[in-house]
Structure 1
Amino acid sequence: MDIGIGLPGHAPWTDGRQLVAWARRAEARGFSTVAVSDRLRWTTPEPLTVLAAAAGATSRVRLLTSVLLAPLRTNHRLFAKTVATLDHVAGPGRLRLGLAAGFRTDDFTASGVDYAGRGEAFAALLETLRDTADDPGGLRPATPGGPPLLFGGTSRAALRRIAAHGTGWLAGTASVADVEAFTPQLHAAWTAAGRAGTPRIVVSAMFALGPHAGASVARAIGPYYAFAGEEWAREGIAAACTSAQQLTAAVEAFERAGCDELILTGNDPDPVQVDLLAEALGR
């Protein structure tokens, strides 16, 4: 199972250059992927912009949006060209797009985008990505056919997107039980669609390390999940890994559950967290 790093964009970062430093250190310590999350009504940085900076600062580590709120990108042609441009800047085979419909209504209200119509908008965007990947009159991606697509969510619509367009499932901050409950449906949909091989399963988990790990997790996750209620925020804080023992156990458990990649997302903006993580995992 590959181990990647999620940049602490949801945490109280103050200097964007720290996020680029995270990417450099992630590559130097041998992590598989640098991932960036997406929210509009939060201080989370815009993911494609961050990945462009990370691409310029690195040469090998894969780049992932985890997950990008696809229906908010309403100019589909412009989005497709932005993706193709980033794919060229990164170099073939490095960029993967994790996409989801989104469920926070405030992001849509702030954008003037119809929340109820987000599924239809998502479908139209996917068609544009497919069409422009082979458009002789436009900028084609550097990766043949365009960057691989992963989809978030567990709805029937998410299953259809994965089976029709995707290379796999991007599970967000799911538990092992969540993965074990959803993967039979995922494999069934994949097989029913006549897809060869198996879908890739990528899961995220939160972490912070060092003497202030608990405080960092509470400061980052508590406000970020507050919209869903105090109980969800408490559960998110409790589930975060704050020791080498917890990290090792999480890695082993997700690997046993059949995950192909685990993205460990930071909650303390200090780039030294990358080195602490590598040491905790014996890298």
Structure 2
Amino acid sequence: MDIGIGLPGHAPWSDGRALVEWARRAEKRGFSTLSVSDRLVWSTPEPLIMLAAAAGATSRIRLLTSVLLAPLRTDHALFAKAVSTLDRLAGPDRLRLGLAPGVREDDFVAGEADYGTRGKRFDLLLDRLAAISAPGDPVGPRPATPGGPPLLFGGGSAATLRRIATHGTGWIAGDATVQDVQDFVPRLRRAWAEAGRAGSPRLVASVMYALGTDAEQAVSDAIGPYYAFAGEEYAQYGISLAHTSPEQITTAITDFERIGCDELIFMGNDPDPGQVDRLADTIGL
């Protein structure tokens, strides 16, 4: 199982250079993937811009949006151009897109995008994204990765299963538990087989983490406000799921590998780049 790391974009960061340093250290220490999350009504960095900076600071580590709120990108041709440009900057086979429809209506209000029709727009965006890889498309550049960056989809709906089976290479489970993955995988494998897809869908899970003497406070400061929209109980539940000790980190790796995950991504909650080294030391990278 691959082990990736996620930028602490939802945490109270202030210096963008520290996030670029996260990228440099993540590659140096041997993590498989660097991921970045997405929200409009929050201080998270714009994912494609953040990954462009990371691409310029690295040369090998895979880059992932986890997950990008696709229906907010209402100009589909411009989005396709941005993705293919980033794929060119990163080089072949580095960029992967994790995509989801989004659940926070305030993101769509701020983005002047209709919340109720986001699923339909999502499907249209996927068609336009595929078109930019085809010869003769007037929008360029062509992506460096043949066929364009692989797509992973987040969520647990029937529409998510359909998008994975028709457009995707797998599923990405955000802030997940082992039980979350186990509950969804039978439906995923059934949809994959019914679509006649060869092989198996890729399974990627992400969990929250912070390490060190201030780990629990960092998690509370990052996750509490971020999940406050859903109420105090949900925010506290999110905090309780975070991994704040070496023992929790190693147990998570064992448990997610046991159920067949292809990759586990530890999402940072403390902007200090030293968190990259603490995690790498814990898991032996």
User: Same fold judged by TM-score > 0.5?
Assistant: yes
**Partner in structure 1 of residue 85 of structure 2:** 85
**Partner in structure 1 of residue 209 of structure 2:** 207
Partner SS for 1:227: helix
Q: Find runs of 4+ consecutive structure 1 residues off by over 3 angstroms.
A: none
The answer to whether 1:261 aligns with 2:263 is: yes
**Partner in structure 2 of residue 43 of structure 1:** 43
Distance in 2 (CA, whole Å) between partners of 1:173 and 1:272 is: 22
Partner SS for 2:132: helix
Distance in 2 (CA, whole Å) between partners of 1:188 and 1:68 is: 25
Q: TM-score, normalised by structure 1?
A: 0.99
**Partner in structure 1 of residue 250 of structure 2:** 248
Of 63-72 and 134-143, more deviation after overlay is shown by 134-143
- Offset of residue 79 of structure 1: 0.5
Q: Which runs of 5+ in 2 are unaligned?
A: none
- Offset of residue 135 of structure 1: 3.6
Q: How many residues align?
A: 283
Partner SS for 2:143: coil
Seq. identity, %? 67
Distance in 2 (CA, whole Å) between partners of 1:277 and 1:72 is: 33
Please give the residue correspondences for 1:28-107 in structure 2 after superposition, counting only pairs within 5 Å.
28-107=28-107
Partner SS for 1:133: coil
Q: TM-score, normalised by structure 2?
A: 0.98
- Offset of residue 232 of structure 1: 1.0
Distance in 1 (CA, whole Å) between partners of 2:7 and 2:40 is: 16
Distance in 2 (CA, whole Å) between partners of 1:239 and 1:5 is: 17
Distance in 2 (CA, whole Å) between partners of 1:73 and 1:124 is: 11
**Partner in structure 2 of residue 17 of structure 1:** 17
Return the match for 1:179 from 181, 189, 197: 181
- Offset of residue 276 of structure 1: 0.3
Distance in 1 (CA, whole Å) between partners of 2:199 and 2:231 is: 40
Distance in 1 (CA, whole Å) between partners of 2:176 and 2:250 is: 17
- Offset of residue 139 of structure 1: 1.6
**Partner in structure 1 of residue 220 of structure 2:** 218
Q: Which runs of 5+ in 1 are unaligned?
A: none
**Partner in structure 2 of residue 190 of structure 1:** 192
Amino acid at match of 1:58: T
Amino acid at match of 1:274: V
Partner SS for 2:222: helix
- Give per-residue Cα distances to partners, 1:165-214, cap 9 Å, x unaligned: 00000111111000000000000000000000000000100000011000
**Partner in structure 2 of residue 236 of structure 1:** 238
Partner SS for 1:48: helix
**Partner in structure 2 of residue 276 of structure 1:** 278
- Offset of residue 257 of structure 1: 1.3
**Partner in structure 2 of residue 168 of structure 1:** 170
Distance in 1 (CA, whole Å) between partners of 2:61 and 2:205 is: 17
CA RMSD of aligned residues (A): 0.6
- Give per-residue Cα distances to partners, 1:148-181, cap 9 Å, x unaligned: 0000000000000000000000111111000000
Partner SS for 1:63: strand
Amino acid at match of 1:183: V
Distance in 2 (CA, whole Å) between partners of 1:131 and 1:268 is: 39
- Offset of residue 30 of structure 1: 0.3
